[in-house]
């Protein structure tokens, strides 16, 4: 079952690289305050690297002005997410989150089967806005599209 607006974020273990791999529960990371969590199918992939992540980097101050913390999630390991963030020059206020075994992504019901392309199970491209762990906005992209999960779309949804 896919998470929906009004649902509480499920609990699963995710990782962040901070002087080594640090594990956290999803509820600890995303369950308090205003949060935008956006997910990409893969670090270093073309749309993710050239369009999705850059929009959030560009607008990170706009989210901060609204009191919103921003997290980028991918079904990659914490080392990859850290390297991708460094390569892309992310600000400290944008947290790169690894869901290496897709446990959180599956708990959300937002997994993508990329096995035919040699990518295994990944996250669908999506963005959600949470308040104290409750989904207020959920924008899931249609396959191959990049429209509703952009930073601009999420800012509009928060302001709307």
Catalytic residue numbers read 48
Give which of 33, 19, 35, 34 is closest to 73, Cα–Cα. Answer: 35
Query: Which tokens in the block code for residue 145?
Result: 């599209």
Q: Is 143 exposed, middle or buried (0-12, 13-18, 19+ CB in 10 A)?
A: exposed
- Residue 74 CA to residue 124 CA, distance in Å, equals 9
Q: Quick one: tokens of 32?
A: 């308090």
């Amino acid at each position: 079952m896919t998470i929906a607006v009004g649902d509480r974020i499920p609990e699963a273990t995710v990782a962040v690289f901070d002087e080594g791999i640090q594990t956290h529960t999803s509820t600890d990371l995303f369950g308090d305050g205003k949060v935008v969590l956006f997910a990409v199918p893969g670090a270093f992939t073309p749309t993710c690297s050239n369009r999705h992540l850059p929009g959030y980097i560009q607008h990170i101050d706009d989210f901060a002005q609204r009191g919103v913390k921003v997290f980028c999630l991918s079904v990659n390991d914490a080392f990859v997410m850290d390297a991708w963030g460094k390569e892309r020059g992310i600000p400290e206020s944008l947290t790169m989150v690894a869901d290496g075994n897709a446990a959180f992504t599956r708990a959300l019901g937002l997994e993508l089967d990329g096995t035919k392309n040699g990518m295994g199970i990944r996250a669908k491209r999506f963005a959600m806005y949470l308040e104290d762990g409750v989904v207020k906005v959920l924008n899931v992209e249609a396959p191959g599209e990049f429209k509703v999960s952009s930073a601009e779309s999420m800012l509009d949804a928060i302001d709307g």
